[in-house]
Amino acid sequence: MTKKEILTSPFVEEMCDTTRNMYEHGWDERNGGNISYLLSEEEVAPYLDVEDVKRTIPIDFDAIALAGKCFIVTGSGKYFKNVHKDPETNLGVIRVGNDGSYVELLWGYKDGSVPTSELPSHFQSHISRLEVDLENRVIMHCHATHLLAMTFTHSMEEKELTRKLWQLCTECLVVFPEGVSTIPWIVPGTNEIGEATSAKMKETRLVIWPQHGVYGAGKDMDETFGLIETVEKAAEVYTYVQAQGGMKTSISDENLKALAERFEVVPREGYLSI
């Protein structure tokens, strides 16, 4: 059976559109940032021979919990600005090997490259999110500018940071009622930062890496991008407010409670004072 052209597949087109959009937002300078998108074999099969393994790539993480699962992942050292121009070099479709110690390359990385160095963090976060919600298929990491700046000027205590973000933009409580999580500064690309991030991913879909960036999770590209876009907008407003002399008012807890009731979301327990 003739396969469809993979460059026309929804998952390749989404990766191209999203990486370009993130670069144009200024969140992914140089090779900063990475995305992984969990795919079903049924989504991949019309475009690729899933038995045709181009090569195997060892990984420094026990991914046995994801054995047999397919992902499209940005490549190591690849620039987001180049993905839409040359997807086959900058992206790869991979399948986790049976023992979880390697991945099989089904398409992409045509210059011999490998998945992002943050693959352990992505895989660990996928495992955590799938335990919470089987529809969460996207993990997205970027260096959202104003949110990154806020990690230098605001407390990283999770309740304080979450409340401040909720108070800055009406949409925030509705979009991430579970709040945001933070971890300490940890060397990127390590299992340690992956473990810390994935532990927080069981509680929230947003995990902030101080002085580095943010991890977001969602059911699809739009939801995950929108999640990061919303928290970044609140951080941008915070930047302007601070430049204008600091907060003189904010959305009250009473109003946040009314907002939650109107949109039928449940704020993180203990985060509102009423």
Catalytic residue numbers, as ranges: 118
* 70-74/91-96 β-pairing: antiparallel
DSSP of the chain: -PPPPGGGSHHHHHHHHHHHHHHHTTS--TT--EEEEEE-HHHHTTTS-TT---EEEE-SS--GGGTT-EEEEEBTT--HHHHTT-HHHHEEEEEE-TTSSEEEEEEE-TTS--B-TTHHHHHHHHHHHHHH-TT--EEEEE--HHHHHHHHHS---HHHHHHHHHHH-HHHHHH-TT--EE-----TTSHHHHHHHHHHHTT-SEEEETTTEEEEEESSHHHHHHHHHHHHHHHHHHHHHHHTTS-S----HHHHHHHHHHHT--PPTTSS--
The answer to whether 25 is annotated as binding is: no
- With beta carbons less than 8 A apart as the criterion, state whether 231 and 176 touch: yes
Residue pair 35/78 in contact by the 8 Å Cβ criterion: no
* Residue 154, annotated as binding a ligand: no
141 annotated among ligand-binding-site residues: yes
Q: How many residues does the chain have?
A: 274
Torsions phi, psi for 129 (to 5 deg): -70, -35
Residue closest to 124 by CA, chosen among 184, 191, 174, 210 = 191
Query: Residues marked as binding?
Result: 141, 143, 212
Query: Residues marked as binding for Zn(2+)?
Result: 141, 143, 212
